[in-house]
Structure 1
């Protein structure tokens, strides 16, 4: 679905490009994963919400897609992205939004909620976490299923920094097909986002791949702050998610107004892997929590 509007937003002198679908009175404001990915995969899987009367807005975060791509690594912080998100919301005049954050976009959404909760109608946390050290333990558990010899090999390459070695990359590929997207052919919007990945923000904030967190977010933990978020929260995870259902439970226990749903036969992309189970959960939550 083509966007109805493509809006260029000035964020501290940089161009950030936003996409708007539909003209509903309530807005689903999408924050995609990465960091460093354009928003194609998330906007194309959620623009269908216009058929239920919502306006859907997504944007290419600074450093991605059609937005400017500076190389100053000091820009790649979650605090700066929170302010960028607020600038986009204000510039587009969105008012209170249903904020939907997927993966890294969920970490961003949590920090946004802690700073600007008054601008939220609801918070939707998809395939995400609130505690990075806990996630690291879960990822160790997932890759242990590859066997001790393979894990030892991966640890050797991580110690040496040889992340591009074929045997290391082969192990990561297996994990990706188990825990990122279990479809034999990944959808075109996902491929498009991945093919345009800016590794600058990703390596600075997260690390070299989905299963090694050594960037500036490695110690990020908002679990102690979650009780401050009072809006209604929807948490979803695929049952095989790299950001595991245990991470979802950890969030639910800290959020006073939350519900947690595990999508069967899916990993990190339930909206593509099992849409028949995913969309009724999302639509039902939005319908129950409309303004007024």
Structure 2
């Protein structure tokens, strides 16, 4: 496998990227990680798609191995959209597939709505395309948990103690239901350095809690514009996902050229919970589009 990594100059600093290439003839795939404020570390398994096409992952500015500028004005959706265009230009990705996961789908949709040329398809994996709708879904998900967990999360939000140990413990229970349902996480995933996550970006853009959006994404909702994205799209989620099957299917119905798939044994991290199935579904979709 050919492997390349490096830094790309973007607005506000440099971002770190990696490119996997086994000389497959397919259109390159660029992967947008979740967060905001996470990194591409957990998405490393997607490099296996490089047998058919180049696969590019990058840590968004402020995240993972990229620069950590202190200018909080950089943490806006519009700048991340600009960053994606800059990464694409630096790597000469004239024609490209995009796979976004979670917040990465927010970024993918916002970017697509700027009408860039050369987008062959978009995969919305566990999508967040409406902050208000995401918030509503998490409040519904919360009601499926034990009362004491619900009360802890509610009290910590009201009292501003979302950095407390009791809140962390409650979130851990929420995560086991709706984020990653594996009893044992892969060993490599446990080795992710904690500094790869930037909670400051998350707080500025989303807020201190998953369940109430207080950041600058509070009013983000691109559902009225989904009809304007005309390239082929694939919407996926886990059966137990934070990005609920009902909402994900709703987004797909609003999109004129889309398919919909549910990973039956997964929550929010199907690429880790059902890696072989995930790679199969993604790979088949991309190959089908390339053959059209």
Which TM class, normalised by the smaller chain length? over 0.9
Which residues of structure 2 form unaligned runs of 5+? none
- 1:63 aligned residue: 62
Structure 2 Cα separation of the partners of residues 138 and 124 of structure 1: 21
- 1:35 aligned residue: 36
Structure 1 Cα separation of the partners of residues 84 and 24 of structure 2: 20
Worse-matched range after superposition: 21-30 or 225-234: 21-30
TM-score (norm 1): 0.93
For the Cα contact (< 8 Å) 1:36–1:198, is it kept in 2? Answer: yes
For the Cα contact (< 8 Å) 1:37–1:193, is it kept in 2? Answer: no
TM-score (norm 2): 0.93
- 2:121 aligned residue: 122
Which residues of structure 1 form unaligned runs of 5+? none
For the Cα contact (< 8 Å) 1:64–1:198, is it kept in 2? Answer: yes
- 1:15 aligned residue: 14
Structure 2 Cα separation of the partners of residues 287 and 63 of structure 1: 33
- 2:257 aligned residue: 257
Counterparts of 1:1-292 in structure 2, within 5 Å, are 4-12=3-11, 14-22=13-21, 23-25=23-25, 26-42=27-43, 44-51=44-51, 53-193=52-192, 195=194, 196-290=196-290
Shift, 1:219, TM fit: 1.5
RMSD across aligned C-alpha pairs, in angstroms? 1.8
For the Cα contact (< 8 Å) 1:129–1:247, is it kept in 2? Answer: no
Structure 2 Cα separation of the partners of residues 4 and 54 of structure 1: 13
Deviation by residue 1:42-88 (Cα, 9 ceiling, x = unmatched): 1x12000112x210001111001221101221110111000000000
What is the SS of the residue equivalent to 1:290? helix
Structure 2 Cα separation of the partners of residues 15 and 279 of structure 1: 30
